[in-house]
Structure 1
Amino acid sequence: MTADNNEAVSPRSTADQHLAIDAPERSPNTDPITVRVTGAEPGATVDVTTTLEDSDGDEFVANATFTADEDGVVDLSEHEPDDGPYEGVEPMGWLWAMSSDADAPFPRLNGLSNIEVTLHAATEDAEATRTVTRVLHDDDVEEHTVDADGIVGTLFVPAGDGPHPGVIELHGSGGRRGTGTAKLLASRGYATLALTYFGDDHDALPDELERIPLSYVDDAADWLRDQPAVADDEVGLVGSSRGAELALLVGAHYDWVGAVVSYAGSVPWDTPSGEPAWIHDGDAVPHITAEEAPRFEDLDEKPVADVVPPVEQTNAPILLLSGGDDGVWNSRRLSEAVADRLRDREFPHDFDHRTYDDCGHLIGTPYVPLAGIDETERAGGTARGTVRASEDAWPAVLDALETGLKKQQ
């Protein structure tokens, strides 16, 4: 999907005098776009305000002030604001720097396939408004609730003729499946199962993150490949936080895995109750014991290395993503411990550890309002750093899945 490059002011825009806003009317939310204000007096002060409303009705806003250049233009991809929520040139700052007075630091996008962003530009004697649509995922992605054969989750199926390569997305310790990324992967051609592996709202699952058998993911892969729209072939794993921990473990133990992506992952550790998080063939996998989320700063290298899964047994490319300012755990060091093992064992497949300064635990997909990160100390990182990480990480994720899965086609 590519942005609509028709930059003429559409009927959805209004303008006084010659002031106008040029921007693609519709574009994928993972793609940057150019926003330009034209028709201002050279040297004029131009206020640019952007707003969106999330699925809960909360409004997110960014306001920045610019000086028009000698041609009466403000190009947000080239000009830095005189005042605003970000510093320097930030082509997509008008979107990611939005914030809200609501309790939630980030917008809730539940059930939305698109977000409508209103751009408003004003000088002393003119104004213009334009609405742009940012596409979160394709409207024709099919969504199916899964509760069969002991497997719980949501399956997202791409449009078009299958069979499509399969992906399993693994959530973190919050116990909620992250359907946003799953829908986006389905928009890219992957039949994606957002798998739930614990939670107190389903009798078939453990209430807590305790003694989760790796075989549950194995069973889920069997179920996924049995679906008519899904290729009966290797399956990719995309995990976040403790779900990344699980993805690396499963990749090391099962030969159906075609790609592994680890967002802010860790080596295995136990749970607050003292129970192991993961079991394989009835036994706890090697893990670190910690009263809380392990900080690891005081641990020697050997205890960490001793519990790194046998990732060299994975018959697939591995992508590790980490933030250098992770406030949950030291995902940079822990991911590097995994990378060290892959190097030491001369891993024969592609692998990459991409780590990002000024980024914490919330590496994701660009572009969404992220100003709340600056107020969320636990996650770590800054909004700007997280944007930079996500801009780099998302194409790398797609490349890893392409390498591991679409070779099947």
Structure 2
Amino acid sequence: MFKSIGLFGVAALMTSVVSAGEPLTFTPVDSDDFVGEYYPGTQPGYGVMVVEGARGGMPDVLAQKIAATGYPVLSVAYFKESGLPDKLEELPLEYLQKPKQWLLAQSETRDDGLVMAGWSKGAELTLNTVARDGDYKGAIAIAPTSVVWQGRGAKGSAASSWTYQGEPLAYLKWPKQTDLESINEAVMATLEEANWHEHPARIPLENSQAQILLLSGGQDSVWPASAMAKQICEQMTVHLPEQCRHVDYPRAGHLLHDQVEMGGTKQANAEADEASSQEIMRFLETLNTPKRHP
């Protein structure tokens, strides 16, 4: 078990997390444009691009969770892999264009769109991407955020996590935390002081036509994902009713994973892991089911 940590401390913990059971086989993608691994799935449908959180590297655990649905999954690294940046600092959203095009071209995947999934900082990347790219039909965000938070540059310097069209995205600075028990209150205070819903750091999901699934734990000890997910859906409802679904697991922690104690109990996280997997399955099945018109 692991104890409560800050946002970038997630990286140290996640190196120890492995998937339970027999893992599905992902094959490295032969590409000079991105670092990725592919699982073709057992049924055709929208391909799902999966990204990691603050630890970087390949999103092995989350990719296995998504791949268990049977749909095609492209696992993509965006930093901390050979040939990629080492820091989560001003990473271009456009990097994901090449893996997107590759996934759309696979014989098992639909060519009219795709889905993206990520957790924690990967959820932040996911939501910022689908807000700016109409090719995405759906987004799955575990432990999401309603705004862009700072990245982590050299020697801990503050910088935006992401860039778009050559410019850094506006961001909020991570609160100076002296007490890990009060980090959620500090984050919420930062959001309120910044007037987050009008701040340029807010993720503009009203620009997206994607269906959004947000999954959070009510005992998250990294950031207040439940409250921020609620903010996202409330903002989207103004413009896009029925497009945002938020499922909260009140006793679970940050990643809804029983091998990492970022809030919640082992049992609650195990239950949330299983329940959230079912939510993801239903979400993908719905996206892939042709709509009937009267």
Match for residue 234 of structure 1? 113
Give the TM-score of the pair, scaled to structure 2. 0.80
**2:34 aligned residue (144, 151, 156):** 151
Higher relative contact order (CA 8 A, sep 6+): 2
Match for residue 248 of structure 1? 127
Q: How big is the shift at 1:105?
A: 10
Q: How big is the shift at 1:395?
A: 1.4
Match for residue 176 of structure 1? 57
Q: How big is the shift at 1:286?
A: 2.3
**1:403 aligned residue (276, 286, 290):** 286
Give the TM-score of the pair, scaled to structure 1. 0.59
Secondary structure (helix, strand or coil) at the match of 1:261 reads: strand
Match for residue 202 of structure 2? 308
Match for residue 48 of structure 1? none
Match for residue 191 of structure 1? 72
Write the distance in 1 (CA, Å) between the matches of 2:139 and 2:276: 14
**1:340 aligned residue (220, 227, 234):** 234
How well do the aligned residues superpose, as a CA RMSD in angstroms?
A: 2.8
Higher strand share: 1
* Count of matched residue pairs: 265
Match for residue 69 of structure 1? none
Q: How big is the shift at 1:328?
A: 0.8
Match for residue 282 of structure 1? 166
Change (3 A) 1:277 1:405: farther
Q: Percent identity?
A: 27
Counterpart contact for 1:271–1:292, Cα < 8 Å: no
Counterpart contact for 1:247–1:262, Cα < 8 Å: yes
Amino acid at match of 1:318: I
Secondary structure (helix, strand or coil) at the match of 2:213 reads: strand
Superposed, 1:3-152 pairs within 5 Å as 109=18, 114=22, 137=24, 143-152=26-35
Change (3 A) 1:211 1:407: farther
Counterpart contact for 2:65–2:277, Cα < 8 Å: no
Amino acid at match of 1:275: A
Counterpart contact for 1:158–1:189, Cα < 8 Å: yes
Write the distance in 1 (CA, Å) between the matches of 2:269 and 2:129: 28
**2:82 aligned residue (199, 202, 215):** 202
Q: How big is the shift at 1:268?
A: 0.9
Counterpart contact for 1:274–1:291, Cα < 8 Å: no
Higher helix share: 2
**1:331 aligned residue (225, 236, 239):** 225
Q: How big is the shift at 1:248?
A: 0.6
Secondary structure (helix, strand or coil) at the match of 1:190 reads: coil
Moved more, 189-198 or 399-408: 399-408
Secondary structure (helix, strand or coil) at the match of 2:29 reads: strand
Counterpart contact for 1:318–1:400, Cα < 8 Å: no
Write the distance in 2 (CA, Å) between the matches of 1:209 and 1:330: 21
